[in-house]
């Protein structure tokens, strides 16, 4: 199996392996006395990871080195049930000693186009720029069962190659607007890590990994990091067709 595929028995084992990989990457930056810039996805899959980071890594990760960004955010207030920030606060931020000044929230309550521009300017101020795009150390991605990632959906693939670092996506079913990092920003990251669990993603994941006909229609298939392939952390159900 490809070296960038990491398969574990259970969703919990998979999430714990990602937590360990995050710790390894934080330590690399700490050794250079540099901050660790990470962007998180939302949805439901990361909840288990965030709980493990809260319960098992609150002491071991030097959280004062961590600067937190988002991969995407639904255009709702942070208190809304669908807010990625709200979910991250409940499962992680309220449990770990990350400095508030190091939490760079996408403001889903604002006008989408205005917020996308603000967040892009913020990232360009806070991060180093490579090939015209801000570079994160680590990006945590999920994948929808339609092959979307971040809030880049199959109905708007232009966000993959947008010349802006942050854009506005539209959920194809609900029509909900979302702020999202665009493809070239995601690909600038030093590490791009998918956390994918459960049987619902197995079919599309197989199409992407085996480059079956039509795989190019899935935004997740384009993801890679500045140093090479994206890393896939999968439970055995998600990997069952690989």
Q: Which residues bind ligand 6PG (CB under 6 A)?
A: 41-45, 71-72, 84, 142-144, 149-151
User: Closest separation between CB of residue 140 and ligand 6PG, Å?
Assistant: 9
- What is the chain's percent helix, strand, coil content, to nearest 5? 40, 20, 40
Q: What angle do CA 182, 187, 189 make, to 5 degrees?
A: 110
Cβ proximity to ligand 6PG: between 42 and 183 the closer is 42
User: Closest separation between CB of residue 151 and ligand 6PG, Å?
Assistant: 6
User: Closest separation between CB of residue 106 and ligand 6PG, Å?
Assistant: 10
User: Closest separation between CB of residue 162 and ligand 6PG, Å?
Assistant: 16
Cβ proximity to ligand 6PG: between 65 and 147 the closer is 147
Cβ proximity to ligand 6PG: between 7 and 150 the closer is 150
Q: What is the biggest distance separating any 2 CA atoms in the chain, rounded to whole angstroms?
A: 46
Question: Using an 8 Å Cβ cutoff, are 242 and 209 in contact?
Answer: yes
Residue nearest to ligand 6PG (CB): 142
Residue 2: phi and psi, rounded to 5, are: -50, 145
- The residue written with tokens 């540099």 in the block is 34
């Amino acid at each position: 199996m490809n070296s960038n595929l990491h398969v574990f028995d259970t969703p919990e084992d998979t999430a714990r392996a990602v937590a360990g990989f995050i710790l390894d990457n934080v330590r690399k930056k700490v050794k250079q006395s540099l901050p660790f810039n990470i962007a998180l996805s939302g949805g439901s899959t990361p909840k288990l990871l965030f709980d493990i980071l809260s319960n098992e890594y609150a002491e071991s990760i030097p959280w004062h080195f961590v600067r937190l960004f988002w991969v995407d955010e639904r255009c709702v207030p942070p208190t809304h049930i669908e807010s990625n920030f709200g979910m991250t606060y409940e499962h992680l931020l309220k449990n770990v000693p990350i400095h508030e000044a190091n939490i760079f929230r996408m403001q889903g309550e604002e006008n989408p186009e205005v917020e996308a521009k603000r967040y892009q300017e913020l990232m360009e101020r806070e991060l180093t720029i490579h090939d015209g795009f801000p570079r994160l150390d680590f990006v945590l991605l999920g994948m929808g069962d339609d092959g979307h990632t971040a809030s880049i959906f199959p109905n708007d693939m232009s966000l993959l190659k947008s010349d802006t670092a942050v854009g506005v996506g539209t959920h194809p079913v609900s029509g909900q607007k979302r702020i999202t990092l665009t493809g070239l920003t995601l690909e600038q990251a030093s590490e791009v890590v998918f956390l994918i669990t459960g049987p619902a993603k197995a079919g599309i994941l197989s199409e992407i990994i085996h480059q079956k006909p039509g795989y190019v229609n899935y935004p997740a298939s384009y993801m890679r990091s500045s140093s090479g392939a994206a890393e896939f952390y999968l439970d055995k159900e998600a990997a069952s067709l690989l």
